[in-house]
Amino acid sequence: MATTVTHVETVRGPVPTSELGVTLMHEHVFVLTPDSQNNWSDEWDEEEKVAEAVEKLRALVEVGVRTIVDPTVDGLGRDVRRIARVNESVPELNIVPATGLYTYADVPGFFALRGPGALPGLPDPLVELFVRDVTEGIQGTGIKAAFFKCAIDHHGLTAGVERVLRAVAQAHAETGAPIMVHNRPADDTMAEVRRVLGEEGVEPRHVLLAHVGDSPDVDLLSRYAEEGFLLGMDRFGIDAVLPFDQRVETVAELCRRGYSSRLVLAHDASCYIDWIQPDLKPALPNWHYLHIHNDVLPELRARGVTDEQIDEMLVANPRAWFERR
Which residues of the shown chain bind Zn ion in the complex (CB under 5 A)? 268
Residue partners of 30: CB distance under 8 A and separation at least 6? 49, 53, 72, 77, 79, 82, 83, 270, 271, 272, 273
Nearest to Zn ion of 26, 117 (CB atom): 26
Q: Minimal distance in Å, beta carbon 26 to Zn ion?
A: 6
Q: How far is the CB of 71 from Zn ion (least distance, A)?
A: 5
Alpha carbon 112 to chain centroid, angstroms: 25
CA–CA distance, 176 with 3 (Å, rounded to integer):
10
Cβ proximity to Zn ion, 255 vs 266, nearer residue:
266
By beta-carbon proximity to Zn ion, the closer residue of 74 and 268 is 268
Give the separation between CA 29 and CA 50, rounded to whole angstroms. 9
User: Least CB distance from residue 38 to Zn ion, whole Å?
Assistant: 22
CB closer to Zn ion out of 128 and 187:
187
Closest CA to 180 of 82, 72, 288: 72
In this complex, which beta carbon is closest to Zn ion, that of residue 40 or of residue 275?
Answer: 275
CB 57 within 8 A of CB 271: yes
Smallest separation, CB 108 to Zn ion (Å): 18
| C-alpha triplet 7, 13, 16: angle, nearest 5° | 25
The H-or-E segment that residue 7 falls in is strand 7-8
- Which residue's C-beta sits nearest to Zn ion? 268
CB of 73 to Zn ion, least distance (A): 10
